[in-house]
Amino acid sequence: MNIVFEYPSWFIIFCLLAGLAYAFVLYRKDKKLSEIPSLVINIMAAFRFFVITILCFLLLSPLLKTVNRSVEKPVIIIAQDNSESLLATKDSSFYKKEYKQNLQKLMDVLSEKYEVRSYTFADKIKELNSVDSLKFDEKQTDMSSLFDEIETRYSNRNVGAIIVASDGLYNKGSNPVFTSDKIKIPVYTIALGDTTIKKDVILSKVDHNRLAYLGNEFPMEIVVSAKQLKGKTTTLTVSKNGNTLFSQTINFNSDAFILTIPVLLQAKEVGLQRYNIKLSSVPEEMGVLNNSHDVFIDVLDARQKILILSDAPHPDISALKQSIEANQNYEVESYTIDDFDKPLKKYNLVILHSIPGLRNAASRILTEIKTSNIPVWSFSGATSIIRSDLSLLSKANKTNEVEPVMETNFPLFTISDELRKAFKDFPAVLCPFGADQVDNNSNVILYQRIGIVDTKSQLMVFNTIGENKVALFTGEGIWRWRLQDFSAHGNHLAFDEFVSKTVQYLSLKVDKSFFKVLGKNNYFENEAVEFEAEVYNESYELINDPEVNIAFTNANNKKFNYTFSKTSNAYRLNAGMMPVGEYKYEARVKVGEKLYTQQGEYSVTALQVEMTNTVADHQLLYSLAKKHDGALLYPSQMEKLAEMLNNREDIKSVSFTEKKLTDVINLKWIFFLILVLLSFEWFMRKRNGSY
């Protein structure tokens, strides 16, 4: 510790002289001081001398320079695998008791010389506060994230070594041998688990879609493997509610057997459906925990119902129907106007061909469409009357042959390059003459080409009337487009795209409900169940004043009640992890006097990846240790680790030197010193009657 100055240090002489001069002038011989003893006068003069000297000294801006030296012990990081694969061996009792004691002894010995930091890894990286908290029950192992976490936390620390205790199995993330490249620290591995290949039948993997549609077939791919069971057989079954849907006998023709089996199932019921995939056990196999797996598939009744109404039979009707039905999500019904007497509310889209016409005004149909806000795709024929509420005016007494011209900047949906090229080759259709008045807010997709002249007359246009979407094709004869597409390409893909995207845009409903609950329909058992909610007022503005409650019900009809937390303008719920099974929920919110509810269901799926492969991979642990200048040890050799670390020359304590400059004027004791000196001086003068 020493003092440095911004000015020359010999300026201190002037500080002393200033203090001496001030004290001399103040306490020179004076009649007022004649009766005060000279010793008291000298003491008061000394006090004043020190005060003035210190104040002048502070004007020199002195800095207090301190140098602190500290010693940091090397950090030894112990990372313990906490996945359930460690207990899938004959030594499970060893890991529950004796191994924990040995691990604690190792930590105690290392703590005498090093700073020991302990963690567990599997699903997540967690601090290990006590070996008693080791349960070996986590469902996945991600060893690569361990090294990423160490790099983040200890990049500027004196880390001596990393000790990884694991069976070398990982089923999430990347290969730790490669992801540990950024770590320049010795790595020692403790090889746990059992490398013996045991007889076992394994349901390795089930690939499937999360969603299926009612009435459709959906695929599954089931991967079956077996070890050391050559000549044995098992039976694969897929069942639902106890009913077998698929069964196949599998013969194992090698000791390292693997087979992928495709399965097609029919979606017959709406809602969350649970399917059980199971392999029958073989007497010699190690265990049966990895022989079965449940999958959950959400079956939706998402078929859109499309109605085609025409004034009379027409080839356009067949062309439209075939293209729409190419998508299994659409169900099409077609009628002539005279034969149709059903309500329109059940339909998602109505296609009108030559309606209204000169023969039938179809006023009931048009009124019901308007009041029910059903989307409409209207085709005008030679006998149709084009109404103002379908965006065009005039009567179709005369017709023109026109070819389509694509609008280059059509905004409502994307058009493929193949369809853009197809429009150029599509033949002419018949359009009513003079029908050309369109609302300014309309979106034109096709213009008319008459002869060789490209006009701005609309061939097909989209509009919105109130909340109702409307598309108007001002002509007839698009059946020729379908034939042309097949003639040119051998398929109907371009024409089907045109029809399908038009139908999809028109039939898509915008969800404007005042209460929405958003969440996944499937969670894994090691994943927190989370939901979000949105509440809207009458002006359709997001609000979060009312309280939102939700009740979960499991398969046993047991209820779990929760309340959403409020965010800035919405709601969020983290219900934590839940047991495997199927759940239903009902969320409620009261806005003013109105009560809104939302219902749904979801599933929690078991994770069995740790049981798929239980043969320890000590080769990976050896490669990891060798790459980082460490060593592989077995649990029986753990006591040697401390000695091995002590013998390394590169694991040493590090000394740090910190230099710090502090303004002397900021030292509080300087202020109190000046205050004490002035106070004593004042007290002595007052006591001796000076003033």
Domain covering 515-605, topology: Immunoglobulin-like (2.60.40)
Q: Return mean pLDDT, the chain.
A: 86
Cα–Cα distance, 566 to 571 (Å, whole number): 5
Q: Which CATH class is domain 200-296?
A: mainly beta
Domain boundaries, the chain: 2-68+661-687, 74-190+618-646, 200-296, 304-507, 515-605
CB 616 within 8 A of CB 195: yes
Residue-wise pLDDT tens digits, 127-178:
999 898 899 988 889 999 999 999 999 988 899 999 999 999 998 888 999 9
304-507 homologous superfamily: Class I glutamine amidotransferase (GATase) domain (3.40.50.880)
> In the prediction, which pLDDT does 427 show?
92
pLDDT > 90? residue 65: no
200-296 against 304-507: fold identical? no
Predicted pLDDT at 302: 65
Q: Which residues contact 188 (CB under 8 A, 6 or more apart)?
A: 161, 162, 163, 164, 625, 630, 631, 632, 633, 641, 644, 645
pLDDT digit string (tens) for 316-374? 999 999 999 888 778 899 998 888 888 888 888 999 988 876 666 677 888 888 887 88
pTM > 0.85:
no
DSSP, residue by residue, 115-181: EEEEEEESSS-EE-S-GGG----BS---SHHHHHHHHHHSTTS-EEEEEEEE-S---SSS-HHHHTT
Please give the CATH number for the structural domain made up of 74-190+618-646: 3.40.50.410
CB 432 within 8 A of CB 394: yes
- pLDDT, tens digit, for every residue of 204-256? 889 988 888 887 888 999 999 998 888 899 999 999 988 999 999 999 999 88
Lookup result for tokens 């004290």: 23
Average pLDDT, stretch 482-511? Answer: 88
Say yes or no to pLDDT of 569 above 50: yes
